[in-house]
């Protein structure tokens, strides 16, 4: 059996493979959620969570979001907010006839607005 020489390139390649295998695991344990081989896929450790905002700041942001009706999940019910649906005052038939009577330029401008 022939002796193999260990080269610097093979040592560096081995170190890179080892770092690639170890570093993602250590980075995953830095937060409050740790991956696990369970059905849920991980465990939560609230003691590891570090927040930079105070409780009063979070509550003030929640009040502001409720006032602006920008966050739907702040509502305890599953109903859409009252601000979500703005009445147009047109009937369905009026909207359909307006769409059918628009020019090709108006139609392309309307379609460009939603891209």
Instruction: Report domain extents, the chain.
Output: 51-80
Q: What angle do CA 14, 16, 17 make, to 5 degrees?
A: 65
| Helix, coil or strand: residue 51 | coil
pLDDT band at 41 (very low <50, low <70, confident <90, very high): confident
Query: What's residue 114's pLDDT?
Result: 80
Which tokens go with 87?
Answer: 């009445």
pTM: 0.29
Which tokens go with 14?
Answer: 């081995």
Query: What's residue 97's pLDDT?
Result: 95
Is residue 26 pLDDT above 70, yes or no?
Answer: no
Indicate the average pLDDT of the chain.
Answer: 76
């Amino acid at each position: 059996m022939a002796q193999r020489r260990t080269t610097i390139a093979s040592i560096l390649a081995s170190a890179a493979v080892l770092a690639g295998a170890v570093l993602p695991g250590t980075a995953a344990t830095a937060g409050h959620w740790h991956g696990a081989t369970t059905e849920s896929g991980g465990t939560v450790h609230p003691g590891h969570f570090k927040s930079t905002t105070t409780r009063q700041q979070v509550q003030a942001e929640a009040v502001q979001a409720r006032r602006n009706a920008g966050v739907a999940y702040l509502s305890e019910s599953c109903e859409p907010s009252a601000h979500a649906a703005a009445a147009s005052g047109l009937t369905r038939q009026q909207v359909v006839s307006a769409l059918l009577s628009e020019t090709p330029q108006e139609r392309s401008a309307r379609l460009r607005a939603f891209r």
